[in-house]
């Protein structure tokens, strides 16, 4: 952390030194060898000055702030790296790979020391962790999300061709859960991320991504750290008793879309729908995540819709034609400027 600050300060000093050199009129001083066709830094600076008109000087006044603002971060996405710590660091910092995350959580602490969580990308910057993705109306989630990568092998490479239920998933050690639970709680508090926008990579890219896997401790995170969404037991019992799934795939698809998934609305249990159901089950129902819908799956989904989207029990039992994305989107655009419509 200290080093980062010093580096930035050093760069800033360098920049300021160059800027002031330009403004006191040493533009003619060549900073690079001067030959035909070679533009020196000084000449380039002169050109920029011309474009700006030379006297467009201004200062930023920060004394007045508007309360009408919020964080650009809407979503928290959890991942596993499927690599060792050393390999993860190498991948997530390799310019060729073009992948990164805001945080990297190791699988163990340094001997006798605290867990060292790596901040690979500062939170105001965009990390490249989500790829092609969708959640609650947002596509390409990198722009508005924080990504946490957790060192965990996922499953052995030999299991790659097996159905997801047959893969030997590797559990997360308790000490590591405590670290990413606390970290996630901090991120959520800083950016006011609602529970239903704390998701796994598999939720936002079903079928393409399986991380953080079926052994990710979502229930523990909810109960111990208030991280993410989880259905209430009494609502779950109510919906379970009402047998909410009798083979109506269109209704299931509209509920999955209403919760946030990029669920097809085809009315048939096609491969993409199976992928979405499997992603939902991996998150909320780790006992069975083969993508086959059943009463338990839809009971959980109904309980979540009631809790986080205020869907009434009567509505949850009906189809929800063309279920819209959850409300609470963009503010401002319709309110300004204050002109009467013509
Ligand atoms: Zn991922």
Task: Please give the Cα distance from 135 to 262 (Å, whole number).
Answer: 7
Quickly count: other Cβ atoms within 10 Å of residue 174's Cβ: 10
Cα(161) to centroid(ligand 1), Å? 19
Q: Which residue has the higher pLDDT, 192 or 43?
A: 192
Q: What is the overall mean pLDDT for the chain?
A: 85
Please answer whether residues 206 and 279 qualify as being in contact, where contact means their C-beta atoms are separated by less than 8 angstroms.
yes
Quickly count: other Cβ atoms within 10 Å of residue 220's Cβ: 16
Cα(111) to centroid(ligand 1), Å? 28
Cα(251) to centroid(ligand 1), Å? 29
Question: Mean pLDDT over residues 250-269, rounded?
Answer: 97
- Split at pLDDT 50, 70, 90, the class of 151 is very high
Residue 22, pLDDT above cutoff 80 = no
Cα(261) to centroid(ligand 1), Å? 16
- Own/partner pairs for 217-221, CB < 8 Å, 24+ apart? 217/172, 217/177, 218/283, 218/284, 220/177, 220/181, 221/177, 221/181, 221/184
CA 190 to mean position of chain CA atoms: 14
Cα(78) to centroid(ligand 1), Å? 7
Residues 6+ positions from 210 with CB-CB distance below 8 Å: 154, 164, 202, 282
Quick one: pLDDT at residue 250?
A: 96
- Split at pLDDT 50, 70, 90, the class of 35 is very low
Please answer whether residues 213 and 282 qualify as being in contact, where contact means their C-beta atoms are separated by less than 8 angstroms.
yes
Please answer whether residues 145 and 126 qualify as being in contact, where contact means their C-beta atoms are separated by less than 8 angstroms.
no
pTM: 0.79
Quick one: pLDDT at residue 243?
A: 87
Q: Which two tokens stand for residue 209?
A: 């991504």
- Split at pLDDT 50, 70, 90, the class of 333 is low
| Exposure on the CB side of residue 151, measured as CA atoms within 13 A | 23
Task: Please give the Cα distance from 324 to 338 (Å, whole number).
Answer: 28
Residue 72, pLDDT above cutoff 90 = yes
Task: Please give the Cα distance from 100 to 301 (Å, whole number).
Answer: 31
Report H helices in 154-290.
174-191, 201-204, 218-225, 233-241, 249-259, 271-284
Cα(36) to centroid(ligand 1), Å? 50
Cα(295) to centroid(ligand 1), Å? 29
Cα(74) to centroid(ligand 1), Å? 17
Q: Which residues of 221-236 are buried (b: 16+ CB within 10 A; e: fewer)?
A: bbeebebbbbbeeebb
Quick one: pLDDT at residue 220?
A: 98
Please answer whether residues 79 and 211 qualify as being in contact, where contact means their C-beta atoms are separated by less than 8 angstroms.
yes
Cα(68) to centroid(ligand 1), Å? 33
Cα(309) to centroid(ligand 1), Å? 26
Quick one: pLDDT at residue 329?
A: 55
Quickly count: other Cβ atoms within 10 Å of residue 207's Cβ: 16
Q: Which two tokens stand for residue 140?
A: 């390409």
- Active site positions, annotated: 149
């Amino acid at each position: 952390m200290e080093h980062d600050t010093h580096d930035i300060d050093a760069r800033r000093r360098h920049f300021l030194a160059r800027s002031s050199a330009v403004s006191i009129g040493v533009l003619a001083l060549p900073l690079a060898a001067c030959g035909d066709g070679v533009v020196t830094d000084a000449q380039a600076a002169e050109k920029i000055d011309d474009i700006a008109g030379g006297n467009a000087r201004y200062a930023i006044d920060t004394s007045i702030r508007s309360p009408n603002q919020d964080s650009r971060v809407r979503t928290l996405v959890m991942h596993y790296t499927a690599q060792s710590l050393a390999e993860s660091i190498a991948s997530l910092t390799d310019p060729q790979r073009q992948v990164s995350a805001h945080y990297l959580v190791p699988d163990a602490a340094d001997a006798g020391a605290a867990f060292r969580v790596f901040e690979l990308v500062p939170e105001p910057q965009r990390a490249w962790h989500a790829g092609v993705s969708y959640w609650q109306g947002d596509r390409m989630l990198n722009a508005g999300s924080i990504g946490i990568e957790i060192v965990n092998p996922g499953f052995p490479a030999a299991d790659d061709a097996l159905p997801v239920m047959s893969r030997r998933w590797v559990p997360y050690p308790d000490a590591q859960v405590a670290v990413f639970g606390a970290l996630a709680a901090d991120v959520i508090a800083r950016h006011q991320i609602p529970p239903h926008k704390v998701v796994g990579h598999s939720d936002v890219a079903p079928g393409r991504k399986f991380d953080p896997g079926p052994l990710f401790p979502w229930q523990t995170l909810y109960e111990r750290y208030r991280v993410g969404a989880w259905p209430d037991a009494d609502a779950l019992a109510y919906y379970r008793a009402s047998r909410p799934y009798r083979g109506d795939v269109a209704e299931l698809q509209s509920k999955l879309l209403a919760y946030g998934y990029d669920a097809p609305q085809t009315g048939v249990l096609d491969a993409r729908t199976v992928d979405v159901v499997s992603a939902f089950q991996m998150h909320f129902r780790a006992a069975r995540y083969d993508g086959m819908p059943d009463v338990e799956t839809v009971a959980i989904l109904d309980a979540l819709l009631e809790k986080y989207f205020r869907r009434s029990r009567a509505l949850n039992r009906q189809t929800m034609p063309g279920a819209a994305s959850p409300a609470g989107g963009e503010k401002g655009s319709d309110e300004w400027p204050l002109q009467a419509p013509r």
